[in-house]
Chains A and B, each alone.
Chain A
Amino acid sequence: MKLGDVRYLTKEGIKSTWANRLMTLASIGVLVACMVVIGLAVLISENGNKALGHLEKQNIVMAYMKDYSWALDMKTNADTADKTASEQTAASKSGNSSEKGDGAQDGAAAETPDENGIKNSDYVIHSDEEAKKLCKQIRKIDNVKNVEFISSEEGLKNVAEQLGKDESNKKLVMELLKDDNPLPRSAKITMTSMDEFDSTVKAIEELEGISNVRSQGDAAKKILSIKNGVQIAGIWMISILLLISLVIVSNTIRITMYNRKLEISIMKAVGATNSFVRLPFIVEGITIGLISAVISEGLLYFCYRVVTDELENVLGGAVIPFSHMALILLGIFAAIGTVSGVIGSSIMISKYLRKEGSEFAAI
């Protein structure tokens, strides 16, 4: 087909869109409704992904080690418990207390506790080197993607960082806790897959030298399931809406064809090729689709803005700005419009192209 033909037929298609403006308007209305719902599904899904991405960062698991600070902590807890118990039973169980004291003295015979009452054998990790060895062991566990050793000093710095932007606060914390750092050595662990989250955490916990593991796995899993749910529902919804779009465009083109059956019969009689007959209808379908895409984009912008203005107050900057999605959405809408225009009109025109001369009068 020549360029001149394409120009002529495109003009004819656009003229026809205008000539059937009432039907065109009805089609645009339904298509816009479909596209806005599809756009909303995309926006919800993308915001869900963002939230999940944020939580997946939290999928970094902290494993704390049984080092001196852990032993000190254990001892403090044990002392508190002993003290409470001895206060409750002081009068009646004095004999037993002396027996217990003897036992403790037996254990201490081999090594001398320090000023805090901690012996070398009370904890497992004694140095940064041992801690790093433990990190290597963690790295060997399946599904562990990365392990970063965090010394007590670095841990303290991180805590100070989390206190905020005020430098004086950070300095104060660092100075107060510098000589009496309560933070144990730890390992910052990243996992490959959230699906094996529980088993990986269990494997880390079972390692000798790990006191406990902290994670936000439950929240991440919940978001993951919500996201999957939204995605599945979204796919179904989009599929159904695409089908509706196709039916709508097909129907409009069917009516246009009915109105233009005389032209089609003349076209065929004077030797028009099928592609020549088809093109104006496809142009009409695409025109309807593209007009709907532009209107949908504008409408969605206003809807999203109204909703996000309200949500901004609650969620802060957690919502994706429309401008980040505008081009993608316009692309999706244009694709839906074009595809439904081409397929919708093609389905209908094929039926007409099989007809000949007097058969048109019978339609």
Chain B
Amino acid sequence: MSENVTDINSVQTNEAPVIEFKGVSKRYTNGTHALEDVNIRINKGEFVFVVGSSGAGKSTFMKLIMREEKANTGTIKVNGFNLTKMRRKQIPMLRRTMGIVFQDFRLIPKMTVFDNVAFAMHVVGAPSRRIRKEVTNALAAVGLGDKARSMPNELSGGEQQRVGIARALVNNPALIIADEPTGNVDPNMSYDIVSMLASINKMGTTVLMVTHDHQLVREFKQRVIMLDSGKIVADNTAGGEEE
């Protein structure tokens, strides 16, 4: 672990971190070193951008948090779960504590907007009455209250991504992970999407967003973690990108 990174991560609170990486390395079976000795601590209520070029290790970083992949060395803690000791059966419980926003929206085309959002609640076994109430609220929160009965293909890219955010939000997660949420929307809409995530963050939800859009990173002035060749090369808690 480099001294630089240790200093950057020195902003600590007594509260348990939402995400904590200690000496994490990930090497794939084909020999690729995706992450090497990563140490990071993300506290409750933070908004963090993760940036880096292709192959920097951003995807692996996200996969490790979602426990899609397992670290070879080190320990990872997310929302109180120790991912390194976690059994497969516990993975769904971990994922219920987070909402995921995908670059490609991942909406089910044959379902209405309402059903797409409700789907995330059905999966966690929420009762029908609560589903109706929470889905309506989540759609209103992303400004799509009037599109509940629309089909995904009737919406613009930006609107589809807002449905994705509503779906991530509806189970009231402690952490929202957004994997390049603005990658498939136009620049104006990108700003709205990040604004929406920022307002969700203001209500106390931790947001971790992977992006390539440097303009957005500069505008929103939030903590930025920069990855390069599997290592954290910068962690700017002051907000904005280091030149």
* A residues neighboring B (CB under 8 Å): 1-2, 4-5, 8, 19, 262-263, 265-274, 276, 356-358
Contacts and interface: CB of A to CB of B under 8 A. Distances in A.
A267 B125 contact: no
Interface in B100-146: 100, 102, 106, 108, 110, 119-120, 122-125, 127-128
Contact of B123 (A2, A4, A262, A276): A276
A270 B128 contact: no
Contact of B119 (A265, A266, A357): A266
B68 A271 contact: no
A19 B167 CA distance: 24
Nearest to B177: A269
Interface of B: 59, 63, 66, 68-69, 92-96, 99-100, 102, 106, 108, 110, 119-120, 122-125, 127-128, 167, 171
A271 B95 contact: yes
Given A4-B128, A5-B125, A8-B122, A262 B108 contact: yes
Contact of A271 (B59, B123, B128): B123
B124 A271 contact: yes
Nearest to B121: A270
A266 to B, nearest CB: 6
A181 B175 CA distance: 105
A271 B108 contact: no
Contacts of A266: 106, 108, 119-120
Given A269-B100, A271-B95, A4 B66 contact: no
B233 to A, nearest CB: 25
B127 A4 contact: yes
Given A265-B106, A356-B68, A357-B68, A270 B127 contact: no
A276 B123 CA distance: 7
- Residue from the set A5, A263, A269, A273 with the largest chain B CB neighbour count within 10 Å: A269
B68 A267 contact: no
A6 to B, nearest CB: 10
A273 B66 contact: no
A259 to B, nearest CB: 10
A270 B123 contact: yes
A263 B106 CA distance: 8
A269 B108 contact: no
Contact of A272 (B69, B99, B123, B128): B123
- Residue from the set A4, A5, A270 with the largest chain B CB neighbour count within 10 Å: A270
